Structure 1
Amino acid sequence: MAVTQVFVQTDNFDIGYLSEQVRAGDATSGAIVTFTGIVRELEGTDDKLDALFLEHYPGMTEKALEKIADQARERWELGNIVISHRVGRLSLNENIVFIGVGSAHRVNAFEAAQFIMDYLKKDAPFWKKEISSAGEEWVEQKDSDLDAAATW
């Protein structure tokens, strides 16, 4: 039976361990797709990023991520799904998010992973603050994230 695992944590995650969790006990998935998002430098400015600070609504965030995984399962036949998202202060090149999806076929796994990430950016209750050489600023949701989710 396929399972969904959701983690919201301050500590870094082990990509290898999470990838193994996508495979664990699932003999029906012939494809595993993973995505890892990392902290990158700011775009369109000379300001240098010192860190990101991510906040969430405990309990509600996990439920929102589980709902997104459930919505993906309604669209595609999927094996295990693993979603891990970090909160707290994150420096450049640190992991932020991991999405892992198993499926019998690669197209389903790729599409479901993208769907989960697009809806995570749109619907999951996370708040991001950029801490840079110019100061601190809370980041508003981007139109491009809304547009990406609207394609589904």
Structure 2
Amino acid sequence: MALIRVQEAPFDLAAESAALTAGRDDVGGLASFVGLCRADDGLAALVLEHYPGMTERALAEIAAQAEARWPLTGCTVIHRHGRILPGQPIVLVLTASRHRTAALEACAFLIDWLKTGAPFWKHEEFADGTTRWVAARSSDDAAAAKWG
């Protein structure tokens, strides 16, 4: 069963990777994705809002789909909320499997589906003081759709 966390604090990639593989001799591949906040177009901060409980359930359902499709030996999904500055991490996806292909494909599947299926609301704050809500992108929907 996947480890799912929604938290305000940053995460430690090395510590989370070590925790996922600790004491395991059946892991042949560990794939990771870390999404970072970019400073596009003068972005000063990204504010992520969510509904506690609902968000964790949605993330767990997406992770369960990955666990059903690929022979994973472990899976971690950590998504931050709150005010995030450019350069800071937003999301971590780790997948472990006996073989690299399963780990890599499951990791790609998870991040594609998290972009469209995770209930977060994103609000951008700009250096000039303006703000705007982030709309869904058709490119994210297309990336998720390729998984069927």
Q: Same fold (TM over 0.5)?
A: yes
Task: Extract unaligned runs of 5+ from structure 2.
Answer: none
**Structure-2 separation of matches of 1:26 and 1:67:** 25
Does residue 64 (structure 1) correspond to residue 54 (structure 2)? The answer is: no
Letter of the structure 2 residue corresponding to residue 35 of structure 1: F
Distance in 2 (CA, whole Å) between partners of 1:92 and 1:69 is 27
Counterparts of 1:112-151 in structure 2 under 5 Å?
112-134=106-128, 135-151=130-146
Q: Residue 19 of structure 1 aligns with which residue?
A: 17
Q: Which residue of 2 aligns with 1:90?
A: 84
Pairwise CA RMSD: 1.0
Conservation of the 8 A alpha-carbon contact between 1:68 and 1:119: yes
Identity between Structure 1 and Structure 2 (%): 43
Please say if residues 26 and 80 of structure 1, whose CA atoms lie closer than 8 Å, have aligned partners that are also in contact.
no
Q: Which runs of 5+ in 1 are unaligned?
A: none
Residue by residue, what CA displacement relative to the aligned partner does 1:13-43 show, whole Å, maximum 9, x if unpaired? 111111112213432110000110111121x
Q: Which runs of 4+ in 1 moved over 3 A?
A: none
Counterpart CA distance in 1 for 2:22 and 2:134 is: 36
**How many residues are matched?**
146
Match of 2:103 in 1: 109
TM-score scaled by length of structure 2: 0.95
Aligned to 2:73, what secondary structure does the other structure show? coil
Instruction: Report the Cα distance in structure 1 between the residues aligned to 2:52 and 2:22, rounded to whole angstroms.
Output: 27
